Structure 1
Amino acid sequence: MATEKVSLKLLVNKSNRTVLFAEAGKDFVDFLFHFLALPVGTVIQLLTKTGMVGSLGNLYGSIEKLNDVYIEPSKKDILLKPKAPSCVSEIPLILPETSSDSTPKTYYRCSYRSYSNCSNYVAEDPSAQCPQCNNSMNHPITLVKSLAGNPAAAAASAAESNSKVGFVHGVVTYMVMDDLEVKPMSTISSINLLTQFNVKEIRHLEEKVVSLGMDEGIKLLRTSFHSKKVLTDVFLDDEEIMIK
């Protein structure tokens, strides 16, 4: 289970206790964007224990209760523990770990190998039969990538992969609105927002730095399904902010 924290800087209007926007880096924006890549079953799995709006939780629960007489066990896991895209597993999530298709695949070769041609075949299923001798192909083998013998190329590839982790570029600061609209941060856009929200006195504004961990992450995901003021509901719901 992930334990990482993400910092977020909020600009709060103390007069009505709302978040105007958040100043966020790549880590938080990647976290928000990966919501859209999560399978529905994974979202329900995350939110069922804390409550969720609608009836999908009941559908999920009914599948959990069905025994093997009524549903194929392997198909049950596909519904209850769906695999998320590999790009999701690359993000330093602050949600509980979920299934991902990033698990390395296991391949198999013929276990008998009485003929030299047996080594020409490889299978993904250990119950497959060797086309040459008809014996089971259940001997696991390791896939060796071309970069394995070239440390310099492997290091360069790893560096390039790290720079491309997630969805957005890390050199940009982002503005995340209370309703989770995301846009690049700029001084002009910030000033325009103050006019848009009818902020007449700077003393009514407060900068607040918050940490987003697993509990806040799940709350943010849940709140995003029914609220247009997500950041306010998640970070200011239990607080009182007084105008000085």
Structure 2
Amino acid sequence: MAAATEIQLSLKVVMVKESNKVLYAEIDSNFADVLLSFLTLPLGTIVRLLIKHYGNNAPILGSLNSLYASLLNLDSSHFSSEAGKLMLLNPRNSLETECRKLKLQIDDTPPVQYFVCGNWTCASMYYSVKCLCPNSANTMTRTDLEIEEQSDDESVFTEKTSSFLLLDNLQIRTNTLASFFQILKSNGIKDTNALEERTLIVGLKEVNLCNIELLVFLPPLCFITFVFFIYICSHQIMELLKGSLLSKTPITDMVHLISSATATCNERKEFSACYFLPESKRRKQISSDSKRITVKVLVQKSTNRFLLTEACKDFIDLLFSLLDIPLGRVQSLLGSNTCLGSINNLFWSMRNLELLKHIKRIDSLMEPKIPPHYLSLHQVFSLDKKSSPLIYKQQDSNRVKSFGSASPGSGYTQMKMIDPKGEDGFVKGPTTFMVSDDMVVSPTSSTFILKTLNHLKIPIHDVEEKEVEVGLEEALSILKASLTSICALSEGLKPFLK
């Protein structure tokens, strides 16, 4: 990944002087590519990046932070393999080949590496994988992979010559006169002297703030006079990612370096007011053969409050697998009604017919696939899996190649790709697990239940056990609640209690 001191992106931001809010930003294809790449990031990667960058001040994304922390802290003995746990902690991006071309790469996940067994018959995309081939020493070693087919196209998601207007709520418009005047009209701007322009230089590495103010005198016939402020700011791409999830004005926040990590109570209530999909949309996504998982729920009788949920490995697999779903696929699953900041607007912008000729790989952005081996047997969502690469060993040598869609021809033997998580899912049974309302997962323990009841000061007579069947509809509800609520199971499952 190139250092921000070497590669930086700039955008022109037009602001309303009186309110000091962003009206729109003029961005090129490089910046648009970075912005659209947010949709390719798995939820677990987003949580990990925000925690790594902000530390103790990391924003709380509903119950995803606590779910990720419990995954990290859960002993590896509860997983089918160590590699499976590492896969969940570091979910891969199915579009990582394209994202490697970004001018600014926000995702620090290392590139894919390939490993082969001692017999040169099995291969894996993940480390810590054990091979069961005879006389292979049960280990796999890293190897260099030659890829025959590589695209020479340097563009990522947008055409290189394209230019866009980005609204403060992350709507993208084509950079045309019609779009410009429509933005002015819709915001009630009648006098262009009320506007000012700022040029923002964006990078990932921290640099010093440069206090440069340039007054630009335009020709007398120009009806707009702008004041240019050049800011060289630190970490603004991370601010933009955070703002896209938590703020309705992420560009204004980025310009002012306003932290959106702690949304107000009113904002949280506003987000939580729209958890569930409309009935008609939910029914369209539910099939009669949808997998169903039974869980037991401890509920406080007097308040109907969720206390703890007891479940087997299939439900825990489902919860941990939420971290593998790319943000764009989450938007698609929930009908772009996630109640997250402004990311919904970015997602829906791609349906604008005017943008179709400027944006590539729209299907991959709106419904990104899941990387190979990440789909568990206990998955209830309608997710598409990216196929594993076909790896071939050249006969009479130790050269390993991938030919993409081409035929390898004679002289090559296809290698077997190993599923690192095991055939039965990520989590190992028959242990049952307790899940708190904010999706902290731990092995079932009677002492933990007692401590929970004592901490909440709830008497035994006020507790009852109920059962919930979790299928696609319930899983979608949990997914949606997990994005914005620290009571994800209550919000997600309460409507389905028997």
TM-score by length of 2: 0.39
Quote the residue 2:230 is aligned against.
none
Q: For residue 51 of structure 1, what is the amino acid of its counterpart?
A: P
CA distance in 2: counterparts of 1:59 and 1:142, whole angstroms: 35
How does 1:76-87 map onto structure 2 within 5 Å?
Answer: 76-85=85-94, 86=96, 87=98
CA distance in 2: counterparts of 1:185 and 1:173, whole angstroms: 6
Q: For residue 63 of structure 1, what is the amino acid of its counterpart?
A: L
Quote the residue 1:36 is aligned against.
39
More helix by share: 1
Runs of 4+ in 1 over 4 A off after TM superposition: 137-147
Instruction: Check whether the contact 2:47–2:61 (CA below 8 A) recurs between aligned residues.
Output: no
More strand by share: 2
Instruction: Check whether the contact 1:106–1:124 (CA below 8 A) recurs between aligned residues.
Output: yes
Quote the residue 2:238 is aligned against.
218
- Structure number with higher relative contact order (C-alpha < 8 Å, ≥ 6 residues apart): 1
Deviations 1:98-143 (A, max 9, x none): 24xx524344574xxxxxxxxxx732168353xxxx5439787655
Instruction: Check whether the contact 1:2–1:96 (CA below 8 A) recurs between aligned residues.
Output: no
CA distance in 2: counterparts of 1:62 and 1:16, whole angstroms: 43
Is 1:60 equivalent to 2:68 in the alignment? yes
* Gapped regions of structure 1 (runs ≥ 5): 111-120, 148-156, 239-244
CA distance in 2: counterparts of 1:16 and 1:225, whole angstroms: 23
Taking only the aligned residue pairs, the percentage that are identical comes to 26
How does 1:122-141 map onto structure 2 within 5 Å?
Answer: 122-124=121-123, 127-129=131-133, 135-136=135-136
CA distance in 2: counterparts of 1:140 and 1:98, whole angstroms: 17
Q: For residue 44 of structure 1, what is the amino acid of its counterpart?
A: V
Deviations 1:65-88 (A, max 9, x none): 222233442222121111112222
Q: For residue 162 of structure 2, what is the amino acid of its counterpart?
A: V
Deviations 1:35-65 (A, max 9, x none): 1100111000012332223121011111112
Quote the residue 1:178 is aligned against.
168
Q: Aligned in 2, Cα 1:2/1:96: closer, same or farther, shift over 3 Å?
A: farther
Q: Cα distance, 1:207 vs. partner?
A: 0.9
Q: Aligned in 2, Cα 1:143/1:73: closer, same or farther, shift over 3 Å?
A: closer
Is 1:12 equivalent to 2:15 in the alignment? yes
Is 1:195 equivalent to 2:185 in the alignment? yes
Q: For residue 71 of structure 2, what is the amino acid of its counterpart?
A: I
CA distance in 2: counterparts of 1:199 and 1:84, whole angstroms: 41
Quote the residue 1:89 is aligned against.
100
Q: Cα distance, 1:200 vs. partner?
A: 2.0
- Backbone CA RMSD of aligned residues: 2.6
Moved more, 225-234 or 82-91: 82-91
Q: Aligned in 2, Cα 1:9/1:66: closer, same or farther, shift over 3 Å?
A: same
Deviations 1:175-234 (A, max 9, x none): 111011112100221022112111122211111100222211111111111222110111
Q: Aligned in 2, Cα 1:232/1:62: closer, same or farther, shift over 3 Å?
A: same
Instruction: Check whether the contact 1:109–1:140 (CA below 8 A) recurs between aligned residues.
Output: no
Instruction: Check whether the contact 1:108–1:141 (CA below 8 A) recurs between aligned residues.
Output: no
Instruction: Check whether the contact 1:109–1:141 (CA below 8 A) recurs between aligned residues.
Output: no
CA distance in 1: counterparts of 2:177 and 2:14, whole angstroms: 14
Q: For residue 201 of structure 1, what is the amino acid of its counterpart?
A: D
Quote the residue 2:460 is aligned against.
none
Instruction: Check whether the contact 1:220–1:234 (CA below 8 A) recurs between aligned residues.
Output: yes
CA distance in 2: counterparts of 1:142 and 1:55, whole angstroms: 39
Instruction: Check whether the contact 1:2–1:97 (CA below 8 A) recurs between aligned residues.
Output: no
Q: For residue 161 of structure 1, what is the amino acid of its counterpart?
A: D
Q: For residue 202 of structure 2, what is the amino acid of its counterpart?
A: L
Instruction: Check whether the contact 2:114–2:144 (CA below 8 A) recurs between aligned residues.
Output: no
Q: State the secondary structure of the residue aligned to 1:195.
A: helix
CA distance in 2: counterparts of 1:139 and 1:202, whole angstroms: 64
Q: For residue 34 of structure 1, what is the amino acid of its counterpart?
A: S
